[in-house]
Amino acid sequence: MKIKCPKCGCENYFTGLEEGSKFCSNCNEPLFNEKIPLLNSFEEISSAALSAIAKDKSNKDIIAILKQGVNLIDKSTSENIKNMNFIASLLARPRFKEVETAVKFWERIIELDPLNFGALRFLVSFYIMQGRDKDVYQKGILILDSDYRNCIVEDKKIARLMGSSAKEFDVQNPEKSTSTLYGFLGNFYSEHNDYALAINTYNIALDINPNNIDALNNIAVIYFRKKEYSEALKYYKKCLEVTPVELQKEYRETVEKYALDPIKSERLPSEAKASQMIKKAESEILFNIGECLFMLNEIDDARDAFRWSIEKSEEYPHRELSEVVEEILAEIRKKYGVSTEIKTNNRKKMNLLGALKKELYINKLTATYRMVYNCDDWTAFKNLRNNYTEQELKQILDDLLKWEKEGQLETLLLLVPPFKEKT
């Protein structure tokens, strides 16, 4: 008799005398399908699911346990909310991919308790991904009025109950995940130009986790757009302070998380690549600091920030400043560095910054252009400067970064080069 192990795939052979103990000879997993008991309450389902996870049962068995709760939703009361939230949060995890089923639980919870943060946080994320803007605004206002603190306490209890499985299910750091959620919602408001709500939401994210680098950067972007340059500068400086530490910490945690998964571990960037990515992030923040200082007439400090930005980045084919960038910086010093009493023209300033950005983008793209069209540096530099606007160059850089993250950079550069002309 031959039985294939559902866990490791090993084929096990048995004779009639051995059929009393069917366990995999490779991993000792039971080779028979254990009947899932019928459960009559949300509490029983939660306990059974925790037990199944602790025993490393198959996804199919755990989902079968969790889905029994669907039949109980219509008769649920406010007393069931805690267990319903737990069941739904498990169903929505990447391991099980049962988000649509989880939504049924959360929507029922909101009917019972409109300010329940545990359900609102998942529904808001779900609605944003679905592009349901009206629902995001409706539930987003509720989430700003709800109390996230009790939910963090409950999440910590669940993490303790799950033990080592908490890391796999990403529930071991509820403060970080909650801060990330508010940052995610803040991004939605910012993209819809609702800056007041965005700032309010980002501030909540920073109250929970003061080192949330995305929230720090994005709130600074909003203040810069609002021409409140001193506020923008404050947040950019804080972002620059915490970014290296947070990104390094995030990299170490990711390496540790996937240490026993050879496939995912192999896809992670090397330590040298991670260090380069951190320097790139610092370079971009320094440039933003330079912009703020420039608009505040602190010209010498702005020039230093621009220089540090370029020196930090290892992407440039030539680490030193190009002659054009030097000329622009010299013009900035000449026109606006004589006296802080001079009334400056903000439009002129923004034009100079645009010219500076364009030259920096060209520096970044020269090597790629040269590789795609097999030309020399000067030809690449000349064509990029003459044929592209600042926004077009930025879009090309964004596309290249996206392709690199997806592991398709070299393939797509050959198939669909992002440049619009050949040399």
Per-residue pLDDT, 96: 83
Please give the single-letter amino acid code of residue 51: S
**Of the given ranges (59-63, 260-264, 342-346), which has the lowest mean pLDDT?**
342-346
Q: Per the structure block, which two tokens stand in for 47? A: 């306990």
pLDDT band at residue 256 under the 50/70/90 scheme: confident
pLDDT band at residue 194 under the 50/70/90 scheme: very high
Per-residue buried b or exposed e for 313-336, using 16+ beta carbons within 10 Å of the residue's own CB: bebbeeeebbebbeebbeebeeeb
Helix axes 117-130, 174-191, angle to 10 degrees: 40
**Of the given ranges (54-58, 154-158, 383-387, 402-406), which has the lowest mean pLDDT?**
154-158
Rg from Cα positions in the chain: 27
pLDDT band at residue 381 under the 50/70/90 scheme: confident
Mean pLDDT (whole number) for 144-154? 79
Q: Which residues pair with 11 in a beta bridge?
A: 4
Rounded Cα–Cα distance for residues 119 and 129 (Å): 16
pLDDT at 423 over 60: no
Per-residue pLDDT, 272: 80
pLDDT at 5 over 70: no
Mean pLDDT (whole number) for 100-104? 91
Please give the single-letter amino acid code of residue 64: A
- pTM for the full model? 0.69
Rounded Cα–Cα distance for residues 307 and 296 (Å): 18
Length of the chain: 423
Rounded Cα–Cα distance for residues 83 and 348 (Å): 60
Rounded Cα–Cα distance for residues 90 and 99 (Å): 9
pLDDT band at residue 398 under the 50/70/90 scheme: confident
Mean pLDDT (whole number) for 359-386? 77
- Looking from the CA of 120 toward its CB, the CA atoms found within 13 Å total 24
Per-residue pLDDT, 342: 35
Cα 298–chain centre separation: 33
Per-residue pLDDT, 19: 42
